[in-house]
């Protein structure tokens, strides 16, 4: 049985381009982000992958990325589940701020802690640990059972919600997952064993 799971961070968004904290705000893709989504779909098609179901967040940039990929795969009508459990982490009071402006306001060290610590949230927002607390149960209840039943599953989401899933799938520590960089529009391909652990992982950069 081929237990295929592909995770893709959305293509570059308008706020990524402007170096803004985005979180649960809902900007769309840039032209570059659209190109990245097309390229992701083409890479998956070149591998011969076909999918049985897709999951995405409640945010436009992830949904748009998914639609473009499915178009490239020739599966525009694939059954798709949208849920805010897969949303990006909520950056709270940082949302909408330029990252350089935030450093000036709170100091570089404090902003670095908010961005790169595992369990320290920005004011009014979520830490990576908080994001994991909503993304992981959703993965365990919905996505993982689909994969283990033999369905080919495609997930288009966000840097931190995908980090949460990778942490669980690969059994990484908080320190290890914080070092994992996820480029926009780059598929991460897992083949899972019956025990849900990865047999292989490939980054289609």
Please give the mean pLDDT across all residues of the chain.
Answer: 96
Q: How far is CA 183 from CA 131, 177, 191, 201, in A?
A: 19, 14, 20, 16
Pair type for strands 4-9 and 187-192: antiparallel
User: Rounded CA gap, 22 and 61, in Å?
Assistant: 11
What is the tens place of the pLDDT at every residue in 36-56? 999 999 999 999 999 999 999
Catalytic option among 36, 72, 88, 126: 88
Q: Judge whether residue 160 has pLDDT over 90.
A: yes
**Host domain of residue 92:** 4-52+71-151+168-185+192-203
Please state, in angstroms and as integers, the Cα–Cα distance from residue 95 to each residue in 17, 50, 98, 156, following that order.
15, 36, 9, 21
Q: Give me the CATH number covering residue 78.
A: 3.40.50.1240
Mean predicted confidence (pLDDT) in 117-139? 95
Q: Is there a contact between 40 and 65 (Cβ–Cβ < 8 Å)?
A: yes
- Residues 32 and 24: beta-carbon distance below 8 Å: no
| Number of structural domains in the chain | 1
The secondary structure element, H or E, covering residue 82 is strand 80-82
Catalytic (active site) residue 88: yes
Handedness of CA 180, 67, 14, 46 (dihedral sign): positive
Task: Supply the pLDDT for residue 14.
Answer: 96
Residue 24 lies in a domain: yes
Q: Residue 115: inside a domain, yes or no?
A: yes
Whether residue 65 lies inside any domain: the answer is no
Query: Does any domain span residue 61?
Result: no
- Asked whether the beta carbons of 162 and 136 are under 8 A apart, the reply is no
Answer yes or no: 191 catalytic: no
Q: How far apart are CA 137 and CA 74, in angstroms?
A: 31
Q: Tell me which of 10, 64, 126, 158 is the catalytic residue.
A: 10
Q: Spell out the alpha helix ranges (H) of the chain.
A: 14-17, 31-46, 60-73, 99-106, 108-116, 128-138, 144-148, 159-170, 174-178
In the predicted model, what is the mean pLDDT of residues 138-164?
Answer: 97
pLDDT of residue 69: 98
Q: What is the pLDDT of residues 179-193, one digit of tens each?
A: 888 999 999 999 999
């Amino acid at each position: 049985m081929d237990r295929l799971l592909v995770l893709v961070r959305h293509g570059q968004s308008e706020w990524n381009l402007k170096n803004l904290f985005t979180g649960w705000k809902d900007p769309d893709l840039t032209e570059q982000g659209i190109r990245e989504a097309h390229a992701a779909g083409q890479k998956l098609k070149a591998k011969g992958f076909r999918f049985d179901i897709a999951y995405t967040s409640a945010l436009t940039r992830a949904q748009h990325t998914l639609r473009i990929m499915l178009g490239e795969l020739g599966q525009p009508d694939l059954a798709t589940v949208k849920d805010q459990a897969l949303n990006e982490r909520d950056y709270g009071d940082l949302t909408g701020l330029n990252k350089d402006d935030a450093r000036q306001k709170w100091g570089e060290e404090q902003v670095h802690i908010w961005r790169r610590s595992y369990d320290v949230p920005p004011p009014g927002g979520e830490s990576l640990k908080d994001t994991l607390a909503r993304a992981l149960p959703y993965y365990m209840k919905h996505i993982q059972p689909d994969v283990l039943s033999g369905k080919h599953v495609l997930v288009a989401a966000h840097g931190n919600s995908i980090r949460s899933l990778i942490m669980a799938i690969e059994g990484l520590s908080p320190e290890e997952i914080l070092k994992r960089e996820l480029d926009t529009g780059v598929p991460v391909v897992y083949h899972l064993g019956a025990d849900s652990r990865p047999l292989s992982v490939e980054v289609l950069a």
